[in-house]
Structure 1
Amino acid sequence: MIKIEKYSVPTLYYEFAPAGESKIAPDPRKTALLIVDMQNQFVNKDYGDADDARSKGMWDKWAYFYNRLEEIVIPNNKKLLEYFRSKKMEVTFGRIACFHKDGRDRSPVQRRPGWNNILLPIGTYGAEIIDELKPLSDEIVVEKTTDSVLMGTNYERILRNMGIEWVVVTGVVTDQCVASTVRNLADAGFDVILVEDCCCAATKALHEAEIMIMNQIYCRVMCTDEVIDLFDNLSEASK
């Protein structure tokens, strides 16, 4: 099993937590994958925000983000998605998409000037999930006009209806929509696994800081191979 050593060291809050608390055993039948905002607008290197960065002469500043997406985040999301599908585990998506074309139904967070001024009406190319992770016809996709997938959607009710207790979270960006979603899931009583190498923020510093803050209190931070090994081992143990 591959370990993410830098996130396995307890922060000051948890230095004295019992060692046994680190062991987890999620029931695959009660676990859902949630892929957050892996949409053309944000992720496609030849469209949307990437084009804006080029036109404004800011591409170099965003190189880390798009390189990590291309080399690490998209491949690992695809790997994890294929694994969940192969095991017939629940797959869900959250995406930013407003109902009105002028975006007047958006939350104030998504109207603020700058990168967060997001106008993605439902049905537009920018709002769609990237082709590499395209949802199947019977996989759940919730539309949100907020950062959190839970706030302003019926996602929590959907999970409750399906008896889901564990949510494996991936997507972008780590320090905004992903973090908001993880915190809300935790506060709502779900157990959360955050897949570090399936997420990305604008900079390495922002990504690592947010991961470190959320680990242990709001979620368990793992990498893709750890998650797959976890469920494989649970399946073997249940035989």
Structure 2
Amino acid sequence: MELLLAGTPDRALDALVAASPEDRADLRALRDELFLVAHAAPAVSPPPRLRARLLASRPRPRRPKRPVFVVLDMINDYLTPGGPLEVPRARDVVPALKRRIGEAREKGVPIIYVCDTHAPGDPELDVWPSHAIEGTRGPEVWPEIAPEKGDHVIPKRTYSAFTGSTFGALLDDLGADEIILTGCATEIGIFATAKDALERGFVVTVPPDCQAGMSALAEQVTLTTMSALAPFEPRYLRPAS
């Protein structure tokens, strides 16, 4: 109740109670009770002068205007059955992802594929099984959602799309202020990329039907965690340079 009365954003409250059905029910009940209390209070008509002043001072909401659609690590070595780093759930989201990629193309939203890629002898392969070796089909995008002319394809070496790649520079060139983030694995690459993007001021949206973790539980925990995070100094609110 204290958090509600203090005006805590719904995003933060919903994240706090997401893991507990009892807490979610309590929060719904508290919101209903506050609504009833407010509804029962007698209506007061503000003086015309006050109403005009409030309406004139009301800020116009600003929202991101330059989204990009990012497909992360939907590559052969992660989607092929029996692969050493297979993410089986990733194959299940391919139809929804294919549809959303098509919708983004129709709207003129830039499509960026970021693909885990390693040179032979990469120290990363001392920690993980050999995978996504450049020059093989391993780091190539899964054929059903393959890039088309005009799409961007960026290799990366580690979890976050920003680390040691040209991803950040491309976003700057595109003037992006929002990332629609899809792909796998939710609790690893998507989380690392989302965290870095939020700290750089991007609004991050992860469509639930276009992400895949190693398990449903891992997805739920990661998506709930990300839902509580807001972008740091959002780019869409920054003054034009």
What TM-score, normalized to structure 1? 0.68
Corresponding residue of 1:58: none
User: Percent sequence identity over matched residues?
Assistant: 19
> Is 1:153 the counterpart of 2:165 in the alignment?
yes
Among residues 152, 173, 181, which one is paired with 2:193 in the alignment?
181
Among residues 100, 103, 118, which one is paired with 2:122 in the alignment?
103
- Gaps of at least 5 residues in structure 2 are 1-10, 19-26, 28-60, 232-241
Is the CA contact 1:172–1:201 (under 8 Å) kept in the aligned structure 2?
Answer: yes
Corresponding residue of 1:11: 15
Among residues 71, 76, 81, which one is paired with 1:35 in the alignment?
71
How many aligned positions are there? 181
The structure-2 alpha-carbon separation of the partners of 1:118 and 1:212, relative to structure 1 and needing over 3 Å to count, comes to farther
Matched ranges for 1:85-234 at <5 A: 85-98=105-118, 100-104=119-123, 106=124, 111-112=126-127, 116-218=128-230
Give the CA deviation at 1:126: 1.2
Distance 2:130 2:169 in 1: 26
Corresponding residue of 1:26: 64
Bigger RCO of structures 1 and 2 (CA < 8 A, at least 6 apart):
1
Question: What letter corresponds to residue 131 of structure 2 in structure 1?
Answer: L
Distance 1:130 1:178 in 2: 17
Q: In angstroms, what is the RMSD of aligned CA positions? A: 2.8
Among residues 48, 55, 70, which one is paired with 2:83 in the alignment?
48
State the structure with more CA Rg: 2
Instruction: Please list every run of at least 4 consecutive aligned residues from structure 1 whose deviation after the TM superposition is greater than 4 angstroms.
Output: none
SS of corresponding position for 2:220: helix
Distance 1:118 1:164 in 2: 34
- Gaps of at least 5 residues in structure 1 are 1-6, 16-22, 54-64, 220-239
Give the CA deviation at 1:13: 8.8
SS of corresponding position for 1:125: coil
Distance 2:98 2:12 in 1: 25
What TM-score, normalized to structure 2? 0.67
Give the CA deviation at 1:11: 2.1
